[in-house]
Amino acid sequence: MKLLSTALLLLFALSVTAVAQDEQWPPLSYLRHDYNSAKVVAHVRVREAEIVNQVVGYEDWRIVCDVIEPFKGKLSKGQELIYYHGAEAGFKQELFLGDKIVFLIRNFHEKDKQRVYAVIENSTLPYNEDRVRKLRTIVRTARHKRRS
Query: Which class in CATH covers the domain with range 26-147?
Result: mainly beta
Q: What's the confidence (pLDDT) of residue 15?
A: 37
Q: What's the confidence (pLDDT) of residue 13?
A: 38
Do the beta carbons of residue 63 and residue 87 sit within 8 Å? no
| Other beta carbons less than 10 A from residue 45's beta carbon | 13
Cis peptide leading into 70, omega within 30 of 0? no
Q: What's the confidence (pLDDT) of residue 7?
A: 35
Do the beta carbons of residue 116 and residue 126 sit within 8 Å? no
The residues near 76 (Cβ < 8 Å, ≥ 6 apart) are 67, 70
| Other beta carbons less than 10 A from residue 23's beta carbon | 11
- Beta strands per DSSP E along the chain: 40-55, 58-72, 80-88, 98-109, 114-119, 125-126
d(CA 102, CA 45): 10
User: What pLDDT tens digit does each residue of the chain (148 aa) get?
Assistant: 444 333 333 333 333 333 344 678 899 999 999 999 999 999 999 999 999 999 999 999 999 999 999 999 999 999 999 999 999 999 999 999 999 999 999 998 777 788 999 999 989 999 999 999 999 999 998 776 666 5
Tens-digit pLDDT profile for residues 104-147: 999 987 777 889 999 999 899 999 999 999 999 999 987 766 66
